[in-house]
Structure 1
Amino acid sequence: MAAFNLTPSKPSTFILNGIPGLEAAHIWISIPFSIFYIISLLENFTVLFFVGREQTLHKPMFLLLCMLVLTDISMSSCVMPKALCIFWFSSKDITVDGCLTQMFFLNAVASMHSAILVIMAFDRYIAICHPLRYATILTNARIAKLGLVGFIRAVLLVLPEPLLLRRLPFCASRVIPHTYCEHIAVVKMSCGDTRINRMYSLVISLMIILLDLTLIGLSYGLIIRAVLKISSKEAHRKALNTCTAHICVIMMTYTPTLFSTLTHRFGQGIAAHVHILLANLYLFVPPMFNPIIYGVKTKELREKLGKYTCRM
């Protein structure tokens, strides 16, 4: 039997096992997950509705917010339908092509999300350090072009991951101990040489995260330097207040991303169900809180929301 389980093969399907060790609680786990997902959809589509409807919000900052919202919706929607099929109906089979497609879109959207946060940091830098030139430097067309660059980067960097996986032979055991096709979880099922896959995935993940964090840090370093030159404390407060929402979103994005990336490769002491629960919460919780953060901290959006609420 052991020899059979290690026999290389080309399976047509994989089995997503959900959350290992908590299979009996899948129904109960699905309840908060479903609530998080529904709330995040309502909130994010509300933001899209207000920004699309209000002509006064057709500005670079709100165009970037819409891009961020779309990536939040896409990330959770890549995972949630199949996760609910596992939790509710024990429908665990997924085709190899479906698995690789899910993996590609999830990782590409995550990379795009990171790129948008970098562009947002650049937007805040221009708004604070060069306010008089803001309208000429950052037009909607230029923001759209920067978004396109982030999209192309995401596709080019992430596409080799599923392509490299397709060349690998897999063992007879086709069970992925996860709710979605996480790259390393799939790599671990292979009987072949996975060193290239593991190295490429780690390098690309760290390169995207560290490069983007460096660019964000550089933008905020320049912002802090410019703010310190202002003598008025009230001006300090107003300038930094415009960055609060962005900083909160950065913390909510990169902290769990770094944790998930490193623990999945090096955190053998962490229980599998803990890691997978956190990996799922990372996909559902930030999309639920990001619209709230921007709704509370962005005056124009808050005023438009208040206006529509009063009409109702």
Structure 2
Amino acid sequence: MLKYVLDIMDLLDDPDADGKRVAAHLDGVAGPAGSGAQVTTVSGERGSTDFVLVRVPGRSGRTAGGTARTLGVVGRLGGVGARPEMTGLVSDADGAVAALATAAKLLDMRRRGDVLDGDVVVATHVCPDAPTAPHDPVPFMDSPVDIATMNRHEVTEDMDAVLSIDTTKGNRIINHRGLALSPTVKEGWVLKVSEGLGELLAVVTGEPLVTYPVTTQDITPYGNGVHHINSILQPATATAAPVVGLAVTSAAAVPGCQTGASHETDIAAAARFAVETAKVFGGGRLDFHDRTEFDQLLARYGSLAHLQTLGRETRES
């Protein structure tokens, strides 16, 4: 996996990095069949970015007319670079690198004849000159487009579960270098950490499982004026599917706009976890949440889907 990560990092660590170059790289990895990567350029008030979406068909997935479940892998970030303020690949790029390395590995596996049961949809975006934003305790990477736009291009209706990968180093809450797993979030509910995913992450990393706290405000949409640890769980505001955040973490608080702060082996571990998750989820051997227990929660306490919205407007007296 490290080879795929290094290739993607080299591709993205460029002032001229864009979605077309990424798609061409993935086409080369996929072989004659091609990657089928879709590139969509979207402009905002603060610039533009290229969304890249790759659908890797499974043996029994929906693309083939089957019923195997579809996993979504979202590389969440503000941008891969913060030029001209910063020169080089920023820490915030880790999510995009991990997602695109996952796509490359799955496409290469398919070319060789190792086809998974279900489809896998990988989505992220590429912007080498994204803006930055003030944030406590360290500056954040901002984005040329808003979160709602990101969700529209990165979260698809056919995703039965979403693994969201994001650099989560700009805080003093997770004091661990490597990977950390969030509880499952579904329709406004913060559910228990998936035991299956936790066991799988421990196997992939060879280390004890590390999780991190998720607050109610972390799972509400950006734009409501409250503090969020970062955007890792923002996909949960745009889908009814269960969402789990895979955080690429550090022992010290690291700004998302910092260069020289990406650890290639940690990114490779995140991508390996995504591939292994795709194998067992599409094959029906692992769930992101307990469906029966979730239905019981809904029956007892009702829907919390309003937390997926911006809620009521507050009025000053």
Q: How does the TM-score come out when normalised to structure 2?
A: 0.28
More strand by share: 2
Structure having greater relative contact order (Cα 8 Å, sep ≥ 6): 1
More helix by share: 1
Bigger radius of gyration, 1 or 2?
1
Q: How does the TM-score come out when normalised to structure 1?
A: 0.28
